[in-house]
Amino acid sequence: METRPDILEIPQPTAGITDRIRYLIRLTRHTQASFARLLGVDAARLSRVLSGKNAPSEGLLNAIVVNLNVSKRWLTDGHDVPFPRSTGTEPSPALPKGAPVYDIDVTAGSTPLSRMFTQERIIGYCDLPGVDPQFPLVRVAGDSMSPRIAPGSYISVRNINNISTISWGQIYVVVLEDYRLVKYIRRHPDPAMVTLHSDNPDYDDMEIRRDEIVALFLVESILSYEQVC
């Protein structure tokens, strides 16, 4: 379960500047790269600071203070509070809106998807009508579901806790022991089996046993690559 930004533990005054910068990255739900873009600084430069190779420059500290309305005293020495009492005119740090977009090819590999939904893999957020912000967006490679899902499209997926419950005819990410597939799931005459159907007529149906399914993710929505924000 993702940690809520508003209950992250504030670093103690004895912590270093880099710890406080990492706290701000987590608080604003950014990756290092997107946080650097927010500040208008070079991502490689920020990475060297966070890894301890370079000391944070005055310019970097000022960019954080200006862009996030952070107390410079708190940022530099850990005293004061991260965000001083607002006068009502200063902007609050903006949290990204929309569903997180992950740099994950959902049809590649066998690693459990739940382990892959990490902050480091988020490449952006998508705020569009019909896209539920609580469900992740992942990329689909291959053309087995064309034209319904074109190669390179992104899909919003919802984890199904009870894999014995299947809505027949819906599109799922089907996780097997050795690989993952995006397919329609259709009822099979044998209750112990299911049929995996492709939209592309060049692909034959697959018949698998229900107990071969390791995990299921229901495809909630489909976005072409050009639509992802």
Q: Is a pLDDT exceeding 50 seen at residue 169?
A: yes
- Asked if residue 85 is part of any domain, the answer here is no
CA-based nearest residue to 131, from 221, 217, 218, 219? 221
Task: Read off the DSSP letter of residue 161.
Answer: S
Question: What is the percentage of the chain residues whose pLDDT exceeds 90?
Answer: 35
Q: In the prediction, which pLDDT does 49 show?
A: 92
Domain holding 42: CATH number? 1.10.260.40
> pLDDT at position 228, please?
42
From the CA atom positions of the chain, what is the Rg in Å? Answer: 22
CA–CA gap between residue 115 and residue 40 (Å, rounded): 31
Same domain, 203 and 109: yes
Model confidence, pTM? 0.59
Q: What is the pLDDT of residue 7?
A: 46
Same domain, 155 and 70: no
Question: Does pLDDT of 227 surpass 80?
Answer: no
Provide the number of structural domains found in the chain.
2
CB atoms within 10 A of CB 94: 11
Each residue of 19-70: pLDDT tens digit?
999 989 888 888 888 888 888 888 888 999 999 999 998 888 888 888 888 8
Question: What CA–CA distance (Å, rounded) separates 30 from 213?
Answer: 33
Verify that 54 and 117 share a domain, yes or no. no
Please write the tens of the pLDDT for every residue from 99-144: 888 888 988 776 777 777 777 778 888 888 888 888 899 999 889 9
- CATH number of the domain at 157, please: 2.10.109.10
pLDDT of residue 31: 87
Its domain, for residue 104, covers 99-227
